[in-house]
């Protein structure tokens, strides 16, 4: 339910930031000023008492939000500035800003922070922008060994048509290794990947799944396995997100809280989680979860009372402010929309289901339904299909994946112990992987809903959203009356 307690200054600022980031900012700002003038004139004409201080806070929040949105909008420009005619460029140089990946087609994939372009006659020019690069198969091993933040010199050519801003490298030269801290990170990632590969052996795939859940490395996942997750509506589980960070923070809390107390355990957990995110990579949904966790720790230490929607709005502002380009990512939008749905509609749906289903099922189903309802318009717009089976499958797969993560961490730790204790965990993980694989495989057989007009999905979602909010308001008033009567 959305009540007045939820309507905090960060929420007003976030809403204004959304408007100025995703829509023409000058037009929205002009309409806002006109709207405020009309409302103020209307209230003044009725001689209604208004809280000037509250109006000033709201107005200031909106103005700040619009200003930050305009700033973030200007910084999200991804256009390449190459300094030379693209058709004359035969080589580029820049810094690898993401971990290189292996594709099933045999190519490597990465994002380059472009710095220099070179023509066939040796003319060099400074350049900037983020360039998508495909690497030849024989260079992938070296690229993964050096990892993120390496400086590369690539010889090749740009694609044509829709791939005109993609560079296909024929040869790769690593001109400068990454800084020491980045090299340490890459070596640690490679060590973990090697341990999982060693423990799973040649007849199993569970180590690849563990690598995906803990490090976000999906290069070696079985194609049929990933297709089943996608077709069963549960592909979000494979992407590092709040669920994965929640598992890590829960384990840390259980270990540290008895020793340090809740406040120092939260602080130590924040440090460890920051290190984990650095190791796993700055994926958008993971950064959102990290920011919210840090805000929660700050609130705990300062004894501030916070609402979930306030934390979400503040995280949105901070992430869009410091990661301007992330706002155009589908995973960014889905991550915030899903959590927004859970916070605003989860309790309302739960109250509808309460007593009709077992407690554990009604709780899980209510939040799954809330996330699906709010994200459906965006999914329909970008993918033209909806997979409602994911509502049910996600309820089953999420706890199984959580258990899988915990067992994977245990196996990883025991793999460094001389005794082969890890083999017991490997047996359990192999069995659990088979169970998860069978569930998503069966669920993937359920056909999705093809969407030709996403507008109707958006309209339907808005109507249901409003009806649930109205029900929540009515239900709360009814409960208050019963409490007063009693």
Query: How far is the C-alpha of 486 from the C-alpha of 479, rounded, in Å?
Result: 11
Res 1: pLDDT: 46
Q: Say if 353 falls within a structural domain.
A: yes
Going from the C-alpha of 126 to that of each of 155, 233, 470, the distances in angstroms are: 16, 44, 57
Res 182: pLDDT: 94
Task: Look at the chain and report how many structural domains it folds into.
Answer: 3
Q: Say if 187 falls within a structural domain.
A: no
Q: Say if 481 falls within a structural domain.
A: no
Radius of gyration of the chain (CA): 25
Residue 446 CB burial class (10 angstroms; 0-12, 13-18, ≥19): middle
Query: Mind spelling out the 3-state secondary structure of 183-245?
Result: HHHHHHHHHHHHHHHHHHCCCCCHHHHHHHHHHCCCCCCCHHHHHHHHHCCCHHHCCCCHHHH
Query: How far is the C-alpha of 9 from the C-alpha of 54, rounded, in Å?
Result: 10
Q: Say if 451 falls within a structural domain.
A: yes
* 111-115, 249-253, 330-334: least confidently modelled range: 249-253
Q: Say if 80 falls within a structural domain.
A: no
Q: What number is the average pLDDT over the span 377-394? A: 89
Q: What number is the average pLDDT over the span 358-362? A: 81
Q: Are 286 and 363 in the same domain?
A: yes
* 82-96, 350-364, 468-482: least confidently modelled range: 468-482
Q: Are 295 and 156 in the same domain?
A: no
Q: Are 215 and 255 in the same domain?
A: yes
Q: Say if 3 falls within a structural domain.
A: no
Q: Say if 485 falls within a structural domain.
A: no
Here the CATH number for the domain that contains residue 96 is 2.40.50.140
Count of CB atoms situated within 10 Å of the CB of 31: 12
Domain boundary among 75, 99, 132: 75
Q: What number is the average pLDDT over the span 74-83? A: 76
> pLDDT digit string (tens) for 400-458?
998 999 999 999 999 888 778 888 999 999 999 999 999 999 999 999 888 888 777 77
Which one has a higher pLDDT value, 277 or 7?
277
Q: Are 259 and 359 in the same domain?
A: yes
* Dihedral sign for Cα atoms in the order 450, 452, 456, 461: positive
> pLDDT digit string (tens) for 211-264?
999 998 888 888 899 999 999 999 888 887 777 787 787 777 778 888 888 888
Domain that holds residue 122: 86-178
pLDDT at position 48 over 60: no
> pLDDT digit string (tens) for 118-128?
998 889 999 98
Q: Are 172 and 265 in the same domain?
A: no
Q: Are 28 and 96 in the same domain?
A: no
Res 51: pLDDT: 62
Res 325: pLDDT: 84
Which one has a higher pLDDT value, 28 or 18?
18
Q: Are 235 and 335 in the same domain?
A: yes
Alpha helices of 384-444 — where are they, by DSSP H? 389-414, 422-443
pLDDT at position 66 over 90: no
Q: What number is the average pLDDT over the span 281-300? A: 88
Q: Are 425 and 461 in the same domain?
A: yes
Res 96: pLDDT: 94
Res 472: pLDDT: 67
Query: How far is the C-alpha of 336 from the C-alpha of 182, rounded, in Å?
Result: 29
| Helical axes 206-215 vs 389-414, angle rounded to 10° | 100
pLDDT at position 284 over 70: yes
Going from the C-alpha of 462 to that of each of 7, 376, 458, 469, the distances in angstroms are: 19, 11, 6, 11
**pLDDT, mean over the chain:** 84
Strand partners, 119: 89
Instruction: State percent of the chain over pLDDT 70.
Output: 88
Q: Are 169 and 25 in the same domain?
A: no
- The DSSP bridge pattern shows strands 151-158 and 108-119 to be unpaired
Q: Say if 32 falls within a structural domain.
A: yes
Domain boundary among 50, 75, 100: 75
Q: Comparing C-alpha atoms, which of 252, 196, 244 is closest to residue 216?
A: 244
Q: Are 288 and 380 in the same domain?
A: yes
pLDDT at position 350 over 60: yes
> CB of 369 within 8 A of CB of 349?
yes
Q: Comparing C-alpha atoms, which of 103, 195, 186 is closest to residue 150?
A: 186
In this prediction the pTM is 0.85
Domain boundary among 178, 210, 228: 178
Q: Are 240 and 121 in the same domain?
A: no
pLDDT at position 277 over 70: yes
Q: Are 48 and 135 in the same domain?
A: no
């Amino acid at each position: 339910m959305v009540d007045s307690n939820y309507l905090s200054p960060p929420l007003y600022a976030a809403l204004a930031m959304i408007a100025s980031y995703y829509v023409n900012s000058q037009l929205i700002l002009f309409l806002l000023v006109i709207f405020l003038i009309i409302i103020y004139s209307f209230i003044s004409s009725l001689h209604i008492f208004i809280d000037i201080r509250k109006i000033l806070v709201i107005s200031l929040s909106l103005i700040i939000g619009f200003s930050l949105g305009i700033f973030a909008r200007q910084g999200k420009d991804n256009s390449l500035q190459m300094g030379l005619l693209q058709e004359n460029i035969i080589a580029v140089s820049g810094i690898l800003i993401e971990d290189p990946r292996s594709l099933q087609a045999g190519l490597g994939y990465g994002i380059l922070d472009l710095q220099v372009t070179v023509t066939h006659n040796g003319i060099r020019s400074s350049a900037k922008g983020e360039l998508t690069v495909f690497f030849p198969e024989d260079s992938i091993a070296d690229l993964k060994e050096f990892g993120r933040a390496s400086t590369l010199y690539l010889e090749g050519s740009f694609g044509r048509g829709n791939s005109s801003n993609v560079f296909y490298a024929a040869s790769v030269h690593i001109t400068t290794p990454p800084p020491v801290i980045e090299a340490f990170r890459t070596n640690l990632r490679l060590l973990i990947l090697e341990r999982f590969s060693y423990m799973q052996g040649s007849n199993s795939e569970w180590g690849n799944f563990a690598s995906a859940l803990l490090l976000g490395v999906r290069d070696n996942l079985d194609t049929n396995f990933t297709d089943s997750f996608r077709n069963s509506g549960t592909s979000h589980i494979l992407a590092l997100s709040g669920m994965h960070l929640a598992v890590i923070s829960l384990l840390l809390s259980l270990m540290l809280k008895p020793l340090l107390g809740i406040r120092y355990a939260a602080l130590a957990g924040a440090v460890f989680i920051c290190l984990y995110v650095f190791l796993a990579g700055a994926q958008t949904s993971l950064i959102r979860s990290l920011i919210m966790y840090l805000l929660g720790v700050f609130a705990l230490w300062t004894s501030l009372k916070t609402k979930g929607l306030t934390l979400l709005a503040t995280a949105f502002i901070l992430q869009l402010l410091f990661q301007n380009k992330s706002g155009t990512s589908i995973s960014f939008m889905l991550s915030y929309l899903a959590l927004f749905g859970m916070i605003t509609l989860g309790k309302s749906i739960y109250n509808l289901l309460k007593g009709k289903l077992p407690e554990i099922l009604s709780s899980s189903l209510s939040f799954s339904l809330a996330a699906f309802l709010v994200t459906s318009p965006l999914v329909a717009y970008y993918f033209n299909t909806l997979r409602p089976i994911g509502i049910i499958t996600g309820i089953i797969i999420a706890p199984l994946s959580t258990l899988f993560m915990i067992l994977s961490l245990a196996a990883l730790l025991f793999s460094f112990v001389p005794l082969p204790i890890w083999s017991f965990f490997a047996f359990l993980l192999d069995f659990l992987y088979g169970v998860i694989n069978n569930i998503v495989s069966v669920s993937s057989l359920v056909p999705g809903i093809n969407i030709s007009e996403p507008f109707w999905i958006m309209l339907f979602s808005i109507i249901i959203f409003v009806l649930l909010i109205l029900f929540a308001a009515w239900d709360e008033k009814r409960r208050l009356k019963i409490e007063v009567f009693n």
